[in-house]
A and B are shown apart, each in its own frame.
Chain A
Amino acid sequence: MPKPTLPKGWNQVSLEQFIELRQLKGEDGVFNHNIDILCTLTDGLPDDFDDIDIADVGEIFKELPWLYTEPSKLYTDRIGKFYLKPMTDLTLGEFIDLEHYFTTDYLQYLPNICALLYRIPEIVEDNVVAKWESTDFKTSSRVHYFLDQPITKMYGVLTEYIKFRDSFITSHKNLMSEQVGEDVNDITDPEEKKEAEREKSSQKWGWEQLIWSMCNGDLTKYDQVINMKLVLVFNFLAMRKELEI
């Protein structure tokens, strides 16, 4: 069997392949893991490698040292018709969705994260986006576009977003509720238990409570609120808290 054609670096690995590689488990042993990696990198099946000598499998991996490094943290501002939306322009709704993706399983949701961060501009003036499209689209309908792109185009955006998120959360620490770490069932004092339970359900409905409060209880304003800029919403909340209004 001729030697399989393999990527020479992360720039030849698509986002879809990257996710698959990171999700591979080594529980069936090193050899099985290596064959799974080869299948991912060549979009092949295990049977495709039946005629290769075992020693040759080891040799192939010696030519893939980049596989054990992280992809470059550089990223592109534009992928096809999609432009990278500045983090400071994110809306409350987009931030809530990103929080969901990052806290649930960021690897699985990588294409959705890209579909949220890379957007189609509505108006571009002098190569600068003057107006972004509305959030009225389904990220799932765009994920296929990003899955085919080289991981090096967007990998750095993830770390960039994490930096932005950390800095945002730190600067608005007083508005973020602390996680109830202890298991409520372990609390013996009835008063403390009641308080912890209240805190826990408050966390569960945290974003809904925030939107409800911003809508002043009028849910017809829901869309307007979630489309407001994240920074504006939190600055407004900070003001309300400071002035106790």
Chain B
Amino acid sequence: MIQVFDQEIPNKMNELTIEQFEKISQILNNPDFDNIERYVEMFSYLGIKESLWDDYPFSKFVELIKEFNLNSFTPSEAVTSIEMDGYTYEAQLKLSVKETKLIEKIVNTKPNHYLSDVMAIMFKRADLSNTEHFTDAHLKHKSKLFRTQKAELCVPYIVFVTDKIAEYAQANTTQGVESSQS
């Protein structure tokens, strides 16, 4: 946590929820904002009124941003079992063709809740079959549940899937069509 005015603001992966982390990523990557607007908007999302910055020294604002820096996180071991709403959800650091297809689409289109959407695909409710696991309604429901979890939970999985997809893309990028000679 960092102290901003009289408030404690979460800034670590074990303090932020996945939903907060998704929202912060969206704000910080929003091309409509300039660098300062991005952080003002981010602090505003975390509960700091915009008007409080009016008389705040710029140099101190820069210091706060440095302190907030999220990049200093070291991923921990992947948690492979979690209980939510009375059910056990299990995951493995392994991707099937179907999971890869769904996750690649998410990674490419980056919807607002892409981290929780990826987690919803990776984690399977222990008492359900594969057919139920992949239904749209169930994935949406799970995605909502994961948004309340701490962001540190998703890091090893996001690193794993992005690595796998990038690795595949690098090795199999579609070649151009060669003209036939005959």
Do B105 and A29 touch (CB < 8 A)?
Answer: yes
Complex Cα spacing A57 to B179, Å: 25
Beta-carbon contacts under 8 Å, A141-178 to B:
none
Which residues in B have some Cβ–Cβ distance to A below 8 Å? 95-98, 100-101, 104-105, 107-109, 164-165, 168-169, 171-180, 182
User: Scoring A residues 6 to 31 as 1 if CB is less than 8 Å from chain B, else 0, what string do you get?
Assistant: 00000000000000000000111111
Do A68 and B178 touch (CB < 8 A)?
Answer: yes
Which residue of B has the minimal Cβ distance to A69? B178
Do A69 and B180 touch (CB < 8 A)?
Answer: yes
Could you tell me the distance in whole angstroms from the C-beta of A71 to the nearest C-beta in chain B?
6
B174: contacting residue among A33, A50, A72, CB under 8 A: A33
Contacts of B101 in A (CB 8 A): 28, 31-32, 35, 46
Cβ of A74 under 8 Å from chain B: yes
Contacts of B97 in A (CB 8 A): 35, 46, 49-52, 54, 57
Which of A30, A50, A61 is packed against the most chain B CB atoms within 10 Å? A30
Do B172 and A58 touch (CB < 8 A)?
Answer: yes
B105: contacting residue among A28, A34, A69, CB under 8 A: A28
Which residues in A have some Cβ–Cβ distance to B below 8 Å? 26-35, 46-47, 49-52, 54, 57-58, 61, 68-74
If A31-B165, A51-B97 are given as contacts, then 20 extra A-B residue pairs at C-beta distance below 8 Å, sorted by A number, are A28-B109, A29-B169, A30-B168, A30-B173, A31-B101, A31-B104, A32-B104, A49-B97, A50-B96, A50-B98, A51-B96, A54-B164, A57-B168, A58-B168, A68-B176, A69-B177, A69-B178, A69-B179, A70-B177, A70-B180
Could you tell me the distance in whole angstroms from the C-beta of B121 to the nearest C-beta in chain A?
13
For the complex, would chain B's binding face be called helix, strand, loop or mixed by DSSP majority? helix
17 A-B residue pairs with CB within 8 Å: A28-B101, A28-B105, A29-B104, A29-B108, A30-B174, A32-B101, A46-B97, A50-B97, A51-B97, A52-B97, A57-B168, A57-B172, A58-B168, A58-B171, A61-B172, A68-B174, A69-B177
Do A70 and B173 touch (CB < 8 A)?
Answer: no
Complex Cα spacing A33 to B169, Å: 10
Complex Cα spacing A61 to B168, Å: 12
Complex Cα spacing A47 to B180, Å: 34
**9 closest pairs, A vs B, by CB?**
A29-B104, A70-B180, A30-B169, A68-B175, A72-B182, A69-B178, A28-B105, A29-B108, A31-B104
Which of B96, B101, B108 is packed against the most chain A CB atoms within 10 Å? B101
Contacts of B174 in A (CB 8 A): 26, 30, 33, 68
